[in-house]
Structure 1
Amino acid sequence: MDGSPPINPEDAAISARTDVYFNRTRAIVQRFGDCQVTYAVFLRRPVVSAPRLAVEWLERVAQERGTRFDIDLLHAEGTWVGAGDPLLTITGSFAELADLETLYLQKLGPPCVAAHNAYQMCLELPEVAFLAMDARHCAGFEMQDMMAYAASVGGAAARKEGAKGFTGNATDATAHWFGAARGFGTMPHALIGYAGSTLRAAEMFQEAFPEENLTVLTDYFGREVTDGLAVCRRYPELAAAGKMAVRLDTHGGRFLEGLDPAESYAVLERHAPGAIRRYRSETELRHLVGTGVSAAAIWRMREALDEAGFPKVRIVASSGFNVGKCRVMADARAPIDMVGTGSFIPDLWSETYATADIIAYDGVPRVKIGREFLLQRNGGRKRGAGG
C-alpha cells in the first residue's frame, strides 16, 4: 500500500470512457487552480427537449464527487427547442466538470432528436395509438433506454396537442417510461413458423395467455386477408368485443394478398382519391400504392374485415413507419388503429451530436469566436445537482 487514496470506481469508469483531452484538462486545472465555469449545451437542429437522462447522470456524479452542479433547464422536458438554442446550462467546478462532457452529451443528443421524431409522427396521425418497438434496433440497453424515454417524451408532447401518442412499448425493462408495469406484444413471425399456420399460432397464444387481447400477425404465408379472417371466425367473441387486432407487416418485396398496382390504385380511388391525384415522390407513391404495408393495403384489410362482419377488429400497422410514412398515411386517411414502430430512431446519427461550450469563467463571459450567440441565452429553471 502506498498510502494514496483509492480510485473512485465512478471516476475510473468516466476516465476510461471520456475523450483523453478532457482527462488531461482536468489534471491541468487541478494542478494550476480550479475555477467556476458555465457550460451551454445545444444541438444544431430543432429538437424536443429530453434532458432527463443526462441531468440525472450529472446529479449522480456530483453526489459521488461531493460537489454541486447548478443545472439551468432553459427548455422544460417535452418542449420544442430551436437549432443552436441552448437546452440547458451547467455551472460548477471546472475540475469536476471537465471530464464529463463526452458522457453527458451522449445521453442528451440522441433522445432529443428521437423525441422530436416521435412527436412529429404522433401529430401526423393524432387518432392513432403508437407502440414503441425500437429495442431490437438499438445498440445495447443504454441506447434502448434512451430511445424508449425519447418516445415517451415525444408522445407526451403530442398528447398535449390532442394526439393519442405513444401508449406503450415492447419491453418490460423500459415500460416504466410509459407508466406501465410491462411491455406489450403477442407474436413474432417465428411463432407462426413454429405453429405451422397463422390460425394455429393464434390458438396457441390464446391458450397460453387467455386474458390477453389477441393481435395476430398475418403476413407469414402471404395470406393477410384469408388468415386474418380465419382467426376472426375462430374467435368471434373476441372480434365482437374489440379484443382482437390483425397486424400488417407485409414484406416490401410483395403486395398484400389480392393487390397489385392496378388494384391498389382502385382501392385508394374508393376511399381516398385525393391522395393519389396529387404529385408524389417515388417514396410517397410506394407508401400509398406500392408493395409492403401501403395505405391501399390497410384500406383493403379494413374492407375485408367490415365485409365479413368484423368491424370492431382493429388494424395494427408496422414496417418502416417514420415521419414521412405517417404523413402519407394521414393524407390517405388510412384506417389504422395502432402503429408499431422503432423508426423514431434517428436515421442520420450525425444530427444527434450535442455540443457543449463554456460561456463563463468565474462569472466572466467568455466563449470561442463563432459561438457568441450562446451568451444571449434566456433564463431557465435552475436545478442543483449533488451535495
Structure 2
Amino acid sequence: MKTVFVLEGILLTTVFYGCNRTEEGTSPTYKDLTEAVYASGSVFPRNEYKVLANADGILQQQLVSEGDSVKRNQLVFVLEGITQGAREQAAANIYRQSQANLNTNSPVLAELEAQLQTAQTRLANDSVNYVRYRDLYQQNATSKAELERVQLAYQTSRNDFAARRSSLQRTRNQLYVDLQNSRSQYIASGQDQGNTRIRSFVDGKVYEISKEPGEVVRRNDQLALIGSGREVFVQLAVDESDFGKIRVGQDVIVKADVYPDKVFKAIVRKIYPKLNRVDQSFRVDADFVGELPDAYYGLTVEANIVISQKNRVLTIPKSYVVGNDSVWVKENGEARKIRIEKGAENFDLVQVKGGLNEKSIVVNPE
C-alpha cells in the first residue's frame, strides 16, 4: 500500500491556511503542497562482496565473527585441502625428475650421447674404408661391386649419425619443455595451497558467516559477506506507475522503524532501467546526506522521493476526486459532476489548476 508520511519541520511539511468546510461540503483552500513518491527499501553497505572459497577443503579456522571489523588483506579463513598435499608432492616429484632429465648427468641424454658417439665412430671407420676402396678401384685393384658395397656402408653410417644427432637435439628440446611445464605445475600447486588461506579484499565489516569450522567447503562456496562498516546507501523499490517521475538528484526523506524519532535525508544517485516483474517495481539508489544510520545490513526503511514543491496553491482533499479528474460540486442547491484540471498531488491533497475557485462548494462523493 502506498503511503506518503508527513514530517514536521522538513520538506514534506504541509502548511494549512484554513479549511472552508461546511456541513454541505468543503471549499478549495490555499496550501503549500509537496508532491512525493512513496518507496520502500533497505540500507546496504558500500563495497559489499561475498567471500568465496578458492579451493576444495575443510574449514579449519574461522578467524572472524559477525560484526567484526576487518582490514584489507587480513586473514579471515583457513582451509585444509582434502587432496592438496598429495597434488603438491606429486608436482614436486615431477619437477625434480624433469630437472634430473636435463642436467649434465641425465641418464636419458647420456644414453643418446653414447649412441651418437658409436655412430660417429662407425662413420669415421666407414669413411676411411670407402676412401681406401675408392683408391684401389682407381688402380684396378678391386672390383666395382666391392666399391659399391663399401660406399653403401659409408652412406648408411652417415645417415645413422645424422639421425642420432637430430634425435639427441630433439630429446633435449623436449626435456626442456617438460621442465618448464612441470615447473609451472609445481608453482600452481603452491598457489593452490595459498588459496586455502582466505583474506579480505577491503577494509570493512563482517555481516554474515556462512560456514563453520569442520564443514566441507567446495570451490566458490560462500564463506562470508563483507562490506563497508561506515559507508551505507539506501536501495529503494519504486512502483512502476510512479517511476517516470523519478530523476537523479531529487531529495529523499527516509525513516526507519529502529529510529522512530529520526528522519534521514538522502539524494537519488542512480536509477536502474530494469523492471522487477515480481513486484512491478524499479530499483532506485540514494546516498545519505548528513547523518547516517548505523551500518545494519538490510535495515528496512520507508521513503518519500520529493518530486515537486508548490507554495500556496489551491487544493482540495484527494478523497473528493472522482475517477481521475472529476468532482461533485453544489450549485443552487443541486449537486452536479464537473471536470477539473489537476496539478501536483500527494496522498492527501490535489492541486486544482482549473475548474474550481475558493468559493466553490465541493461535495464528498461518499
TM-score over 0.5 for the alignment?
A: no
Q: What's the TM-score, normalizing by structure 1?
A: 0.19
**Higher radius of gyration, 1 or 2:** 2
More strand by share: 2
Greater helix content: 1
Question: Structure 2 length normalisation: TM-score?
Answer: 0.20
